[in-house]
Amino acid sequence: MLAAATFVLVACAPTASPTSSHSPVPSPSPTTDTTAGSIGAAQYRIEVPAAWNGTLFLYSHGYVAPGRINLAADSPTKDISTWLLDNGYAIAGSSYSSTGWALEDAFRDQIALLDLFDQRFSKPKRVIAWGGSLGGIVTAGLVQLYPDRFAGAIPICGVLAGGVATWNTGLDAAYAFKTVLAPSSSLQLVGITDPQANIQLATQIFDSASATPAGQARIALIAALGDLPGWFEPAGAPPAVGDYAAQAMAQARWESQVDFPFEFQYRAELEKRAGGNPSWNTGVDYAHQLAISSDSAEVAALYRAAGLDLASDIRALNSGTRTTADPIAVAYLDRFISFDGNLKVPVLTMHTIGDGLVVPQQETAYADAARAAGKQDLLRQLFVHRAGHCAFSSAETIVSIQVMIARIDTGSWGGPALAPGSLNSAALALGDTYNQVGGFFKSPPAFENFTPGPYPRPFPKRSSAPP
């Protein structure tokens, strides 16, 4: 859903910089003015080059698990920081005052950091918001809530379906997991009293189920309801079309290695913050959810191979005990945040197509909201042919920055400049050092034309109250 600890999942904090013996990343100029400190409970970091061009990039970092170390970051990687500073851009970022679903704090703390920057340096000519994963939803939220403070936004691998929709989709996965794999277990979907014990129980259920063809087919059904991709390794090729066993294996890794904490553990932090449970699945037709999934053919094939009755499991899902939401908690999560699509500044998003934490269908939900508000001309969305959450090369990220700068400077998206071939050429021209992913492996730029399917549980802002 939101963040990361490996190169498959980056965004919580700066990662190691890529290195190359042929083109080493230069260090920032010694004349860069670096300032760090705290505003209340939030730490911050600001870097301003001596030849500052007046543009400030305000970076929002990703999800930090409850209670983990929470540091300020002003860029996802050191080499991107260096590129920005060497090209005259100032950078800044806050740690936020808390961990977990910290959007309320993030909005306040990032605006407080902008105010501090104005006082300590000077008011920027323009500010561009950017950030990844949870920082992507923070970025999009900042320009929705404070449009007058920003000239543009770059949400990267962002949670752009919004909080209500995203956590509802997580509930769907947890509900299906318990219903088809362990209906009599004590696994808690909401109101989790012992998060650590709950995720341990989920892991035990998964391990038992994944050892059999029947369990593997049912895990694929669970994955399909959230439209998880059948591709996991950023450095590897996707499984062949029709290789359902390999696709299901990749989905099972997304589910068990990445998504489980959000579904069975971190929800407790959200509910404490929101004052109750903000998610529901009353009224959901799981036959429809499977029908709109890109994984529906895979599920049908695996069920046939395992000798299972798919219709029977769908009936079990549709007849099971549903979860209702606390309206107060829904209202909180709607404020922090859902998206109304009423863009006031240009927004450029970027997503890998094989992201199983924040699925690329989140981009569909955001685009649908912008289109409904008549603001689609202010939005452009880039896609990268790679598995992984936020698994971009530094070059791909820098090119997205260049696209946004050109859009603000010219007032136009540039047409052919956004074609995948042009974007890939621009990224390749940055050299080997920047064409690495997370400092782990070299990867040629992989922008491509891609249209994600519908988001499973959209919830546009100002939609009707939950059942």
Amino acid at 235: A
Amino acid at 413: W
Does the pLDDT of residue 294 top 70, yes or no?
yes
Task: Let me know: does 217 contact 303? Beta carbons within 8 Å.
Answer: yes
* Choice between 188 and 22, residue whose per-residue pLDDT is larger: 188
The pLDDT of residue 417: 84
Task: Let me know: does 101 contact 273? Beta carbons within 8 Å.
Answer: yes
The pLDDT of residue 439: 78
Does the pLDDT of residue 440 top 90, yes or no?
no
Q: What is the mean pLDDT of residues 395-412?
A: 97
The pLDDT of residue 415: 84
Q: How far apart are CA 13 and CA 152, in angstroms?
A: 22
Nearest CA-CA partner of 382 in 421, 429, 410, 343: 421
What percent of the chain stands above pLDDT 90? 90
Does the pLDDT of residue 2 top 90, yes or no?
no
Q: How far apart are CA 190 and CA 208, in angstroms?
A: 23
Dihedral angle at the C-alpha atoms of 238, 75, 97, 332, nearest 10 degrees? Answer: -50
The pLDDT of residue 30: 60
Sequence spans of domains, the chain? 33-161+338-448, 163-333
Does the pLDDT of residue 466 top 90, yes or no?
no
The pLDDT of residue 462: 67
Does the pLDDT of residue 11 top 50, yes or no?
no
Q: How far apart are CA 4 and CA 162, in angstroms?
A: 18
**pLDDT band at 10, cuts 50/70/90?**
very low
Give the CA count within 13 Å in the CB-facing half-sphere of 110.
32
3-state secondary structure the chain: CCECCCCCECCCCCECCCCCCCCCCCCCCCCCEEEEEEECCEEEEEEECCCCCCEEEEEECCECCCCCCCCCCCCCEHHHHHHHHHCCCEEEEECCCCCCCCHHHHHHHHHHHHHHHHHHCCCCCEEEEEEECHHHHHHHHHHHHCHHHCCEEEEECCCCCCHHHHHHHHHHHHHHHHHHHCCCCCCCCCCCCCHHHHHHHHHHHHHHHCCCHHHHHHHHHHHHHCCCCCCCCCCCCCCCCCCHHHHHHHHHHHHHHHHHHHHHCCHHHHHHHHCCCCCCCCCCCHHHHHHCCCCHHHHHHHHHHHCCCHHHHHHHHHHCCCCCCCHHHHHHHHHCCCCCCCCCCCEEEEEEEECCCCCCHHHHHHHHHHHHCCCHHHEEEEEEEEECECCCEHHHHHHHHHHHHHHHHHCCCCHHHHCHHHHHHHHHCCCCCCCEECCCEECCCCEECCCCCCCCCCCCCCCCCCC
Q: What is the mean pLDDT of residues 92-121?
A: 98
**CATH architecture entry for 33-161+338-448:** 3-Layer(aba) Sandwich (3.40)
Each residue's pLDDT tens digit, 134-184: 999 999 999 999 999 999 999 999 999 999 999 999 999 999 999 999 999
The pLDDT of residue 8: 44
The pLDDT of residue 6: 33
Distances (CA, A) of 412 to 154, 318, 370, 408: 16, 48, 17, 8
Radius of gyration of the chain (CA): 22
Nearest CA-CA partner of 18 in 390, 435, 447, 445: 435
Each residue's pLDDT tens digit, 258-288: 999 999 999 999 999 999 999 999 999 999 9
Q: Is 36 exposed, middle or buried (0-12, 13-18, 19+ CB in 10 A)?
A: exposed
The pLDDT of residue 261: 97
Task: Let me know: does 175 contact 320? Beta carbons within 8 Å.
Answer: yes
The pLDDT of residue 460: 86
Q: What is the mean pLDDT of the chain?
A: 93
Q: Which residues pair with 383 in a beta bridge?
A: 351, 448
> Measured at the alpha carbon of residue 188, what is the angle toward residues 187 and 193, in degrees to the nearest 5?
120
Give the CA count within 13 Å in the CB-facing half-sphere of 176.
29
Each residue's pLDDT tens digit, 220-242: 999 999 999 999 999 999 999 99
The pLDDT of residue 29: 53
Q: How far apart are CA 100 and CA 321, in angstroms?
A: 28
Each residue's pLDDT tens digit, 31-70: 789 999 999 999 999 999 999 999 999 999 999 999 999 9
Task: Let me know: does 176 contact 225? Beta carbons within 8 Å.
Answer: yes
**pLDDT band at 465, cuts 50/70/90?**
very low
Task: Let me know: does 388 contact 352? Beta carbons within 8 Å.
Answer: yes
Q: What is the mean pLDDT of residues 20-24?
A: 32
Q: How far apart are CA 155 and CA 138, in angstroms?
A: 8
Each residue's pLDDT tens digit, 311-365: 999 999 999 999 999 999 999 999 999 999 999 999 999 999 999 999 999 999 9
Amino acid at 217: A
Task: Let me know: does 327 contact 239? Beta carbons within 8 Å.
Answer: no
* Choice between 24 and 442, residue whose per-residue pLDDT is larger: 442
Q: Which residue has the tokens 């904490």?
A: 261
Q: How far apart are CA 405 and CA 323, in angstroms?
A: 45
What percent of the chain stands above pLDDT 70? 92
